[in-house]
Amino acid sequence: MEPFGSSNWLYIILLGLIVGILARLVTPGRRRLGIILTALLGIGGALVATWTGQQLGWYAAGQAAGFIGAVLGAILILGIAQLFRGGR
């Protein structure tokens, strides 16, 4: 199977959507995000968690964060976005 085949991208988007939905459910406040932005939130959360974990020595180079780490990364992104929005 190709490392960047269409099935892998579909898996990444689906998992990002699940992570984004969980992060939105856990954080307080109403978020007006569509399905695409929610999936991007989850994917971004996984990227933030992976990068942070690698910088702190929790993950080796090339190793990705787990599911819980991705949710925590997405929650962090939502918190930072809330700071920039001014806490509406």
Kindly report, residue by residue over 18-36, the tens digit of the pLDDT. Answer: 999 999 999 887 778 888 8
Q: Please state, in angstroms and as integers, the Cα–Cα distance from residue 53 to each residue in 12, 17, 23, 31, 66, following that order.
A: 19, 21, 18, 27, 10
| pLDDT above 50 for 70 | yes
What average pLDDT does the segment 61-70 reach?
84
Dig out the tokens for 20 from the structure: 């984004």
- Tell me how crowded residue 4 is: count the other CB atoms within 10 A of its CB: 7
| pLDDT above 70 for 63 | yes
What is the C-alpha separation between 83 and 80, in angstroms, rounded?
5
More confident residue, 78 or 86: 78
What average pLDDT does the segment 51-79 reach?
87
pLDDT band of residue 72 (cuts 50, 70, 90) is very high
More confident residue, 37 or 4: 37
Q: What is the pTM of this model?
A: 0.78
- Residue 55, phi then psi, degrees to nearest 5: -65, -35
Q: Are 24 and 57 in contact (CB under 8 A)?
A: no
| Residue 44, C-beta contacts closer than 8 angstroms, at least 6 positions apart | 73, 74, 77
